[in-house]
Amino acid sequence: MARYNRDEAREWGRQQLVGVVNCTIPSFTADLRNINEKAIRHDTRLAIEHGFVGTLGVSEVAISISEYHDFLRIIKDEAGDRLIVVHHASFGNLEQNIEALQGAEDAGAELVLLSYPPNFYPETEQEIFDYTKAVCDATNLAVMLFPMYLWGFGSRIHPSDIPVALIRRLLDACPNIAAIKAEGGFPGVQSVIECHRHFGDEVVISMPIEGDLIPLSQIMPIQLSATSNHEFYGPTIPHVFDLLRAGKYDDAAKIYWQLHPARQVARALSPTIHGGYFINRQAWKFQGWLQGYNGGPLRQPTQRIHDQQMTALRKGLIDAGLNPSMEPLREFFIGRNPL
């Protein structure tokens, strides 16, 4: 159960949502019939070792709601209070998301990342408001609002995806919205700056993109970087986050430039591995595998990752001095804890 009640969600967020939150993608047995508890525990322990304060239990893979609840329970059991477990509200429709939310709360999640289903096609701000409020009303947990181009709102509703006026209405109507993952109008930093200016005194503003987090933190306060595939860089992003919080900007800037080769490769590959307005979780799982995480097979349907992409991502980490795994690429598809 969460360590706060609904009315305390924003204050809890202010106090506890400080640091970097990575992503844990479910791992499965070799026959793909079950989740792989050993592998999930391995990834949870490594996230703690790398300095993350929380982890998103990714649901955008082929996994049932009951399996997903078990997945979150394993993370929570392994982590205890050492990680904030973040529920990924990214199932197929509102009914499924409410069902998943209620089980996630019982499984130990303390924060909700609110996504919007691919079949959700709002044509007005009111429709976005109604869906968002329905999710928030269905849980006692703190919720992180997520303006983002993936939802497709930018072409119909507003270029910022969820405009400031709508965010204002939602904050007034939903007291358990405790954070905003500000990627509206991505790429670009206007959303995080705008959210900080309008709402930074009320809720936590998260900047999840490390390439923007490091420079922006030198000129404005950012207490949270959640959620992203920061595990691609191993323990580096939690480390540089601590430097930024301590005002050691020259040291942080040095790491920014150190990471640039890996960052450039990831950005260059983005159209090929993140095409179709869908995050390629296979690619993210491979990025984590390069830094010691489990890897392993995912169920269909899943996007693919090919040798050229895997080799380029590994070389980017080598050029950044981050010592990625040099195991044969085939080992990624087996995983470090096969069952």
Please give the Cα distance from 17 to 53 (Å, whole number).
Answer: 8
Q: Check pLDDT > 90 for residue 275.
A: no
pLDDT 10s digits, 124-171: 999 999 999 999 999 999 999 999 999 999 999 999 999 999 999 999
CA atoms within 13 A on the CB side of 7: 0
Distance CA(302)–CA(137), nearest Å, equals: 32
Contacts of 335 (CB under 8 A, 6+ apart): 27, 36, 39, 289, 294, 295, 296, 297
Q: How far is CA 325 from CA 52, 264, 304, in A?
A: 20, 19, 20
Q: Which residue has the tokens 């980017």?
A: 316
Give the Å distances, CA to CA, from 88 to 27, 69, 97, 191.
16, 11, 9, 21
Q: What token pair was written down for 139? A: 């849980």
Please give the pLDDT value at position 310.
Answer: 98
Residue 277: which pLDDT band, with cuts at 50, 70 and 90?
Answer: confident
Position 270 pLDDT exceeds 90? no
pLDDT, position 1: 73
- Mind listing the pLDDT tens digit for each residue in 210-252? 999 999 999 999 999 999 999 999 999 999 999 999 999 999 9
Mean residue pLDDT across the chain: 97
pLDDT interval class at 273 (50, 70, 90): confident
Q: Are 56 and 228 in contact (CB under 8 A)?
A: no
Residue found by looking up tokens 């970087």 in the block: 225
Q: What is the pTM of this model?
A: 0.97
Write phi, then psi, for 24 (nearest 5 degrees). Answer: -115, 115
Rg (CA), the chain: 19
- Are 86 and 21 spatial neighbours (Cβ–Cβ below 8 Å)? yes
Q: What is the CATH number of domain 6-248?
A: 3.20.20.70
Residue whose pair of structure tokens reads 């910022």 in the numeric block: 160
Q: Enumerate residues 6+ apart whose C-beta is below 8 A from 157.
A: 122, 123, 124, 125, 128, 163
Strand partners, 55: 22, 85
Measure the CA–CA gap between 45 and 53, rounded to whole angstroms: 12
- List, for residues 283-302, the tens digit of each pLDDT value: 999 999 999 999 999 999 99
In whole angstroms, give the CA distance from residue 111 to residue 227: 11
Q: Tell me what percent of the residues of the chain surpass a pLDDT of 70.
A: 99
Report the first-to-last Cα separation within the chain, whole angstroms: 30
pLDDT exceeds cutoff 90 at 2: no
Q: Is 201 exposed, middle or buried (0-12, 13-18, 19+ CB in 10 A)?
A: exposed
The tens digit of pLDDT for each residue in 172-216 reads 999 999 999 999 999 999 999 999 999 999 999 999 999 999 999
Domain ranges (residues) in the chain: 6-248
Under 8 Å between Cβ of 85 and 120: no
For residues 200 and 189, what is the distance between their CA atoms, to the nearest angstrom? 15
